[in-house]
Amino acid sequence: MGKTLQDAIHNRRNELINKLIFHNIFKKGNKQLFELTLQELEDEFKYIQNESHPHSDIGSIQWKNCAKLTS
């Protein structure tokens, strides 16, 4: 396997692990996230995406501490 492909796999695994941690997923069964294969991480993330609200993902706009503007 070429270095570029290995780097891409490593980067994708890290991205998925970070997204799962954002959703408070730290383990699957008896395994830590870093022990899972890329396919297992992809499957878990797809499951989480299907189960979560569409506006609660990492890339969405989230309003925090917003005060109502008065005219």
Q: What is the pLDDT of residues 7-48, one digit of tens each?
A: 999 999 999 999 999 989 999 999 999 999 999 999 999 998
Per-residue pLDDT for 6 more than 80?
yes
* Nearest Cα residue to 42 out of 24, 22, 15, 60: 15
DSSP 3-state helix, strand, coil percentages of the chain (rounded to 5)? 50, 5, 40
What is the model's pTM?
A: 0.70
Please say whether the beta carbons of 21 and 33 come within 8 A: yes
CA angle 51, 48, 8 (to 5 degrees): 150
